Structure 1
Amino acid sequence: MIPPPGGGGVRTKAAYVYLLRSQVDGTFYLGWTTDVRRRLVEHAAIGTTYTKRKGPWQLIGFETYPSIESAKARERSLKHHPRMYALLKKRLLNQAANGSLRQVVG
């Protein structure tokens, strides 16, 4: 289930690290957002430099974080540590294969 926008309180706002897979060539894209639904629409409509040539995209899964800062830190950590990124992909792909797009709380 895709989370509703904004899941936090006044002082902090929930944020998400998400994983997409290209339906064209099978490559992956990792990003962070405060609204997974909106971000998926943005990737489909306008994309980023990387995503606009490789869409459409499938949401593989996401992790939930209590703040934007913690989601950004997790994304940065995953992008700089290939083994951690590979383990995340494996876990989320296994969940997707089981038919459960579940959030993973970070």
Structure 2
Amino acid sequence: MENYEMNEKFYVYIIQSKKDKSLYIGQTNNLSRRIYEHNNGFSAYTKQKLPWDLVWYCAFNNRLQAERFEKYLKTGSGRAFVKRRLINYPP
């Protein structure tokens, strides 16, 4: 029997609010579902700034890698890295 999580991808993503250009960094194992949730008010934080555009994402082979990278991107140096290297901010 194959281990389900071995083939599952985990994504770190960045979305940008069309309302005020703010960024949100998150991680999920189902990127399309998560973007749908953000744009339909299922997330308490992001529902105030609808709609959102996916501006960047990266796939990882395991959850721990994704969680660590997401945590890094939410630090001060990680946010600077995002704005300097991952996205064109502000657009």
TM-score range (shorter-chain normalised) is 0.7 to 0.9
CA contact (8 A) 2:10 2:60 kept: yes
1:55-70 matches, within 5 Å, as: 55-70=50-65
What is the rounded CA distance, in whole Å, between the counterparts of 1:52 and 1:31 in structure 2?
14
Structure 1 unmatched runs, 5+: 1-8, 98-106
1:14 corresponds to which of 9, 13, 16:
9
Structure 2 unmatched runs, 5+: none
Count of residue pairs the alignment pairs up: 86
Q: Which amino acid aligns with 1:10?
A: Y
1:70-81 matches, within 5 Å, as: 70-79=65-74, 81=75
What is the rounded CA distance, in whole Å, between the counterparts of 1:90 and 1:47 in structure 2?
30
Question: Are 1:48 and 2:34 an aligned pair?
Answer: no
Deviation at 1:19, TM superposition (A): 0.2
**Aligned-pair Cα RMSD in Å:** 1.8
What is the rounded CA distance, in whole Å, between the counterparts of 2:30 and 2:36 in structure 1?
10
The share of aligned pairs that are identical, in percent, is 33
Deviation at 1:15, TM superposition (A): 0.3
Deviation at 1:92, TM superposition (A): 2.7
Q: Which amino acid aligns with 1:87?
A: F
Q: Which residue of 2 aligns with 1:89?
A: 83
TM-score (norm: length of structure 2): 0.82
Q: Deviations over 1:74-96 (max 9, x none)?
A: 111221x21222212332324xx
The list of structure 1 runs, each at least 4 consecutive aligned residues, that deviate by more than 3 angstroms after superposition, is none
